[in-house]
Structure 1
Amino acid sequence: MMLEPHLQLTMALGEGPQWDDNEQRLYWVDIKAGELHRLDPLNAQHEVFHFDEPVAHVVAHEGGGYLGAFRSGLWRLDDQLRKQQQLVEGPQDPAISWCNDCLCDPAGRFWVATKNDAERHPVAALFSYQGELREHFGGVTIGNGLAVSPDQRWLYFSDTPRYRIERYPLDIDSGTLGEAQLFADTRALALPGAPDGGAVDENGHYWIAMYGGGVVVHFNAEGEVIDSLPLLAPNPTKVIFGDSDLRTLYVTCARQELEQATLDQYPDAGSLFSTRVETPGLPPHRYRDPA
């Protein structure tokens, strides 16, 4: 099985794909360009919304509109995807670390993994937000890989430069995490690239984009490799399940820092890729304010 170009684009840092089951549309961002993309797969209508700063992720808000993670912090957006109110700054000084991978869990809690701006120093962290910001742990360089298991017992996470995918015992009601457990050491498994953004299917299998490796790796729930899906782009960034049956795997990609010779070899770098899969993903969740 191979991932094929679904929509040809030249995104510098495509990221944050999110399926909206009410709208039956796919959202994703080009972080550094400050662009939010929206696609209706049925009629191929593709729209681009522009912001005044980098944007990492946008998720539907249960109360209407959206919640967006920007370099400056978390913002409430209206139905037209316009900034309305900054909810919280940061969560870190954006000159040091800023929002990267994000996830809305089944309790409506919004998780934010930050990344060091220079991508070299372990000064980023994992946060959650539901009316107030909460830091769970630090020592992160490029936070990625966020996903929740179908039974809501585990939160997956990866710090990309460490080549490790970990999972944390999750108390979904309180939003607290237990001690990290190693799920997969991608370097020890000789997998190409480094672990970036992931998602879980309804069987509890974990799928993750391997940045620099040109593949999406499919793990079972025990951390064993089932399959590796190649794509003709070296830097896949994040996967999500979409369409009405949640059986289309969408993958965003980046073309930042690629030399011209590489771009000539991979003209679809920076595009949106997809493939059909047998097992559906998990339904998406909306951000929900605390009771």
Structure 2
Amino acid sequence: MDLSTLTHVIAARQRSDLDALGPTVVPLAGGSELFADPRTHLEALVDLQTFGWPALTITDEGLEIAATCTLAELSRLPMQPGWVAHPLFYQCCTALFGSFKVWNVATVGGNLATSLPAGPMITLAVALDAELLVWRGSGSGSDEIVPAREFVTGNMTNVLAPGDVLRSIHVPLASLQAQTAYRKIALSPLGRSGAVLAGRVGGAAPGGDDGAFVLTVTAATLRPVQLRYPALPSIEVLACDIAAIDCWFTDAHGAADWRRAMGLLLGEEIRAELASAATNAGGRS
């Protein structure tokens, strides 16, 4: 869709170019969501792609994903030794409601910043305990590290203030080395996700336990919900905790009670899969 009220696009090449951001000037990354609806209040865009940030950077501490990294680039992330969680990247990319053409323009940062409940990059970042680097605006020029699980606050709401820019996503090495499991369901084969869940065993947050179990529930809830346990929980404990989630919601892609039921079903499937994987790994050691 054309944004007919725009008068110019600013090619950002240094951080000071972001000073133009405000109520009528917003960041442009891929634009797959920005150009999806009329936004008659907008007068200009600040193009983040011209910063030239490397899409993916592998370090000794883990993985750095630029906010401008496209889903197509992320889906081609090469496997690294010990990265047991590697399949989760492609799995979450496939949860995007869009064709391969959208993959080539939609960005990881844009998906997070849009903060739709069904945003699969939200699932990925929260499930892997990622940390988000936010460049704060309002002339402060300051940086803030925000845990991914705290970034999205509701349906299309997050911690970004006007003028802020999501710069990058850091995935810690411990999470990349963890065993993961993934489930998605929608009302139609090509429909927007009604529920997306991801589980992880091992790779706990600092101070955690190598046997920790983490379950992330998204798309079915207004904001991502993470359940954490020091070890694999029982069927009953996990079901009770999923049932107690208080932000299931209803829209055209699913009713709240159906989403709750799918959360219970898929959550137990993930628990059982990771329990089996842990048993098999123990048998091989």
Query: TM-score w.r.t. structure 2 length?
Result: 0.27
Which is richer in strand? 1
Q: Name the structure, 1 or 2, with higher relative contact order (CA <8 Å, separation 6+).
A: 1
Which is richer in helix? 2
Query: TM-score w.r.t. structure 1 length?
Result: 0.27
Bigger CA radius of gyration: 2
